[in-house]
Amino acid sequence: MARIIGGIGSTHVPAIGGAIAKGLQQDPYWRPFFDGFHATHQWLASHKPDVVVVFYNDHGLNFFLDKMPTFAVGAAESYRHEDEGWGIGFPHPFAGDADLSWHIIENLVADEFDVTTCQEMLVDHAFTIPLSLLWPGDKAPPVKTVPIVVNTVQHPLPSPARCFKLGQSVGRAIESYKPDVNVLVIGTGGLSHQLDGKRAGFINKPFDLMCMEKLVSDPAALTRYSAMDLVEQAGSQGVELLNWIAMRGALTGKVSKIHSNYHIPISNTASAVLLMENESEAKQVPFKKAS
């Protein structure tokens, strides 16, 4: 049976792609951010996921304001990168796992989630940047992927509680999947930031750090917020936290934090990484927690 080995929350700021393309990982501005991913590289090397399920938000690539599904799931054999035209390029496609995608879709519909099924899907920086941070280099990541899009753009937005339940349904679906594969769940975006309006440049560090702590110890606490609460506390684009909440919902066991890093600012965004592991898997592959 499939196993959920852990979850990772990661920023997907497009400027990161530009920094990677220019080789700025050791630049004083960028180094504290990129250094925050070293522990995740060690963990991934030892745990070797076969598939990653990625909760993220589409930036007008597949869906626009006139047609915006609340939740959409990719069910393709591969996904081609297409983006705003700046930053890092991805000439290689990202391998899909259509069998697992359909299994998740069928279980989501059985759980009364009316998802949009995408047998063709392009992916933008919200999907590709985190994978590049987790598996740096020119080659395609050594994993298959299942992209799950959450609407964080067009109001009304799904609530944190609904996104958490979406993640729980996905987690149950993964654990009922018969093939013997290790599955990593990723949530991308944020954290707090607002790119326009009177609050442009808004960052709420205390709220971000609270959310990162609660994602590990008490994720139900975050489901008590409304979507508009997230806008108020984290900024109009900070609602990408919904992707992190969905990721956390998919972790079915007792969760322990392996590593986290929080850094501001990256392109007026509070940028972070959070690595969590299910306790049952921690006993199988020893790993020293980062300080």
Is 125 one of the annotated active-site residues of the chain? yes
Percentages (nearest 5) of helix, strand, coil residues in the chain:
35, 25, 40
Q: Are 255 and 276 in contact (CB under 8 A)?
A: yes
From the list 83, 62, 63, the residue with the least C-alpha distance to 17 is 83
Q: Which of 12, 81, 193, 259 is catalytic?
A: 193
What is the 8-class DSSP label of residue 87? S
Is 259 one of the annotated active-site residues of the chain? no
How many CB atoms are closer than 10 A to CB 240? 27
From the list 243, 103, 98, 96, the residue with the least C-alpha distance to 175 is 103
Q: Are 98 and 79 in contact (CB under 8 A)?
A: no
The structure tokens 């590289």 sit at 41
Determine if residue 78 is left, alpha or beta; phi over 0 gives left, psi from -120 to 50 gives alpha, anything else beta: beta
d(CA 289, CA 291): 6
Q: Tell me the sheet residues that pair with 188.
A: 10
Q: Which of 125, 155, 259, 263 is catalytic?
A: 125
Estimate to the nearest angstrom the gap between the alpha carbon of 275 and the chain centroid.
11
The structure tokens 């093939």 sit at 179
How many CB atoms are closer than 10 A to CB 48? 12
What φ, ψ does residue 84 adopt, rounded to 5°?
A: -70, -10
SS3 119: coil
Q: Verify cis geometry, omega within 30 degrees of 0, for the bond prior to 265.
A: yes
Q: Which residues are the active-site residues?
A: 125, 193
